[in-house]
Amino acid sequence: MLGLYATRHDGSVRQLERLLEILADKRANLERQLEDIRIMQRELDQVEERCKGALGELKAAEKRS
């Protein structure tokens, strides 16, 4: 998409303004997705820590048995 506009010197002002709008929308969507990914990573970290803790407790209980 960028290459098309980069090579065209006769693009109208409106076309270029529209491209900037599209790029801003895409950037905003990516930022939202990135934040969603960060939230999911934090949730996965929390679950992983709880799992490791539970596993450690089970292994310790097995050794005591």
DSSP per-residue codes, 1-65: -HHHHHH-SS--HHHHHHHHHHHHHHHHHHHHHHHHHHHHHHHHHHHHHHHHHHHHHHHHHHHH-
pTM equals 0.68
Give pLDDT tens digits for 3-62: 655 555 667 999 999 999 999 999 999 999 999 999 999 999 999 999 999 999 999 999
d(CA 47, CA 41): 10
Domain ranges within the chain, ordered by starting residue: 2-64
